[in-house]
Amino acid sequence: MKPIQLERICKTFYLGDTRVKALDNVDLGIDRGEFVAVIGASGSGKSTLMNVVGCLDQADSGTYLLEGQSVRDLNRRRLADIRNQRIGFVFQGFNLLARTTALENVLLPLLYYRGSMPSAQAHRRAVDALQRVGLADRMHHEPNQLSGGQQQRVAIARALVNDPAIILADEPTGNLDSRTTLDVLALFQELNDSGITIVLVTHESDVAEHARRVIEMQDGTIRKDFQVENRRRAHAPVMAGGRLP
Ligand SMILES: Nc1ncnc2c1ncn2[C@@H]1O[C@H](COP(=O)(O)OP(=O)(O)O)[C@@H](O)[C@H]1O
Ligand SMILES: [Mg+2]
């Protein structure tokens, strides 16, 4: 069973009189441990695809099986549970809370457990996640005291804190310079090596070359789907609890 299986997925948006088929009969299966880059022109449906895969949005028709379960059959509560426990999200704009420390930002997804997780355990998990992205020494810093790359790594720690099986990242390097982009790609590759399935949207072909497989979208359909030959490896100096120079 593939953890992500889309069959004939359609999603249409209406803007006044215009109708946009953002997803047009998409069939897509993603296996455990894959690292998939989704590329394609602006407006081709990449974000819509990610939102459906992440259960942030529902398809109009078709079947989406997430870890073997049809998303349509799940009630809101169950869907929220799966989304929270199985999927980590990373966005282009980091989406960190301002005037809130890195540690508190990473703790946020654990609040969802409301009292069912002892605060000492939650704290330890958040610190572990920050350690994993090489930012343990910045945990009391607020976003405006961190560089863009560091903020994105805090966001990745937040995505990791629930130990997800899948990470969905929509243009995660879109706001980063090329050096920092490589740091973040190295981190994604390391997480993928540890078994996490990664789906990453990018419009930069050199970012996509770090994935194992590339899916190219066009007008709401998958135009190309291929394995990356000579995949690029990003090497960053920040892993293993290290620190940024
Ligand atoms: N909430 C929405 N309302 C109306 N149209 C939308 C909405 N979201 C996306 N679209 C349209 O659907 C198409 C695909 O959008 P999107 O998935 O965001 O593309 P991409 O991420 O590849 O740039 C675009 O034409 C976009 O304008
Ligand atoms: Mg987009």
Between helices 148-160 and 102-111, what is the axis angle to 10°? Answer: 30
Q: Residue 243 — very low, low, confident or very high, per pLDDT cuts 50/70/90?
A: very low
The CB of 11 under 6 Å from ligand 1? The reply is: no
Mutate to test the pocket of ligand 1, among 13, 46, 92 (most ligand atoms within 8 A of CB): 13
Q: What backbone torsions phi and psi does residue 111 show, to the nearest 5 degrees?
A: -60, -25
The CB of 44 under 6 Å from ligand 1? The reply is: yes
User: Does the pLDDT at position 136 exceed 90?
Assistant: yes
Q: Compute the mean pLDDT over every residue in the chain, rounded to the nearest whole number.
A: 93
Residue with tokens 């069973």: 1
Look at strands 61-66 and 4-15 and give their pairing: antiparallel
Average pLDDT of span 48-56: 96
Superfamily of domain 4-227: P-loop containing nucleotide triphosphate hydrolases (3.40.50.300)
Ligand having the closest approach to the CA of 16:
1
Instruction: Kindly give the number of the ligand 1 atom that is closest to the alpha carbon of 15.
Output: 4
Rounded Cα distance between 39 and 97, Å, is 28
User: Does the pLDDT at position 240 exceed 80?
Assistant: no
pLDDT value at position 111? 86
Structure tokens at 56: 């942030």
CA of 48 to the centre of ligand 1 (A): 6
**Nearest alpha carbon, ligand 1 atom 12:** 22
Strands laid side by side in the 69-70 sheet: 18-30, 4-15, 61-66, 69-70
What pLDDT, in 10s, does the model give residues 1-41?
999 999 999 999 999 999 999 999 999 999 999 999 999 99
CA angle (193, 199, 203) in 5-degree steps: 120
The CB of 15 under 6 Å from ligand 1? The reply is: yes
Look at strands 213-218 and 197-201 and give their pairing: unpaired
Average pLDDT of span 215-233: 97
Please tell me the pTM assigned to this model. Answer: 0.94
Rounded Cα distance between 121 and 110, Å, is 10
**Region of 219 on the Ramachandran plot (φ > 0 left; ψ -120 to 50 alpha; else beta):** left
What pLDDT, in 10s, does the model give residues 78-111?
999 999 999 999 999 999 999 999 999 999 999 8
Q: Which of 31, 34, 38, 149 shows the shortest CA–CA distance to 94?
A: 149
What pLDDT, in 10s, does the model give residues 191-204?
999 999 999 999 99
Q: To the nearest whole percent, how much of the chain has pLDDT over 90? A: 89
What pLDDT, in 10s, does the model give residues 152-192?
999 999 999 999 999 999 999 999 999 999 999 999 999 99
pLDDT value at position 244? 44
User: Does the pLDDT at position 58 exceed 80?
Assistant: yes
Rounded Cα distance between 223 and 220, Å, is 9
Q: Residue 116 — very low, low, confident or very high, per pLDDT cuts 50/70/90?
A: confident
The CB of 51 under 6 Å from ligand 1? The reply is: no
Instruction: Kindly give the number of the ligand 1 atom that is closest to the alpha carbon of 14.
Output: 4
Sequence-distant (≥ 6) Cβ neighbours of residue 173 within 8 angstroms = 152, 180, 181, 184, 185, 202, 204, 207
User: Does the pLDDT at position 238 exceed 90?
Assistant: no
The CB of 105 under 6 Å from ligand 1? The reply is: no
